[in-house]
Amino acid sequence: MSSFTITGLFKALTFAGLSLALFPAQATFSPDAPTVLVTGANRGIGFELAKQYAEAGWNVIATTRRGEGDPGRAGLEQVQQGHPNLHIERIDVTSTEMINAVADKYRDQPLDVLINNAAAVEATFQADLEQVNQPYNEIDFDAARMDFDVNALGPMRMAQAFMDHVKRSKQKKIINVTSFIGSFGRGIPTAMGMNYGASKAALNMYSLKLSHAVKPDGVIVGLVEPILVASKPGVADNPMAKPVQDEVAKLRKVIADITMETSGLITNFSTGEIDPY
């Protein structure tokens, strides 16, 4: 092989490698498909959202705070094997630096739906119950700060970082997952879940204010609220728990149907009704 051919081949490979290095984020994304980003996508509702959107042919950015090699993201990696339109990115929603790095990586990618699902919850239902039943005089204030940092400030960090991506898309939707524990109308009277409830109430207010702030840009901010879903150990035997696959299918329909008229309001995605703040 001549030196000219070798040089040409080297340049071609270098250019190809450079191209892949410069545009890795969109390499397997369809330019004709809508794009969704889901936080907390390694388990529960977030995982099922990422899976169902990938199966529906969407471009999916599935984020988790778990790094490569962590067994907690094995399910996502398995879905990714059959759906190269799903990308896994590491994001801890308490880290502005980490969020901005991923936003920059996908800076040229319009984002039709941003779903802020990540929450400060326990790994099992029993552990969740222990937390929500913690009395006021035993509040761990460091844990309370973490609840606010993840549940209320996390979605706002994501909204700030990805707002330009959302504005450039066709659907222009930001969806924040809240909870009835944070509702003044549904969560009262009960002493359950002081930290978690207060942080979700803060998320509701942030979302309402944000919906007014971005309305002139045509961006819709939806609040969605689940009922008890069988998405973690300890829930499956509860007769009140609904299959996560069914509830997430309902949620996807709510997201598809949400309009500017319901921006800033809370939709119970199991019943389809508007719930009180």
Whose tokens are 């901005």? That residue is 100
DSSP strands (E only) in the chain: 35-38, 59-64, 86-90, 113-116, 173-177, 220-225, 229-230, 242-243, 266-268, 274-275
Q: Does the structure show a pLDDT above 50 at 19?
A: no
The alpha carbon of residue 200 and the mean position of all alpha carbons in its chain are separated, in whole angstroms, by: 15
What are the CA-CA distances from residue 99 to residues 17, 26, 64, 102, 106 (Å)? 26, 18, 11, 5, 11
- Confirm whether pTM is higher than 0.85: yes
| pLDDT tens string 67-107 | 988 999 999 999 999 999 999 999 999 999 999 999 999 99
d(CA 187, CA 225): 12
CA distance 82 to 86: 9
- The structure tokens listed for 164 are 């330009």
**Pairwise pLDDT comparison (35 vs 11), residue with the higher score:** 35
Q: What is the mean pLDDT of residues 7-19?
A: 41
- The confidence band for 229, taking pLDDT boundaries of 50, 70 and 90, is confident
The Cα 227–Cα 199 span in angstroms is 18
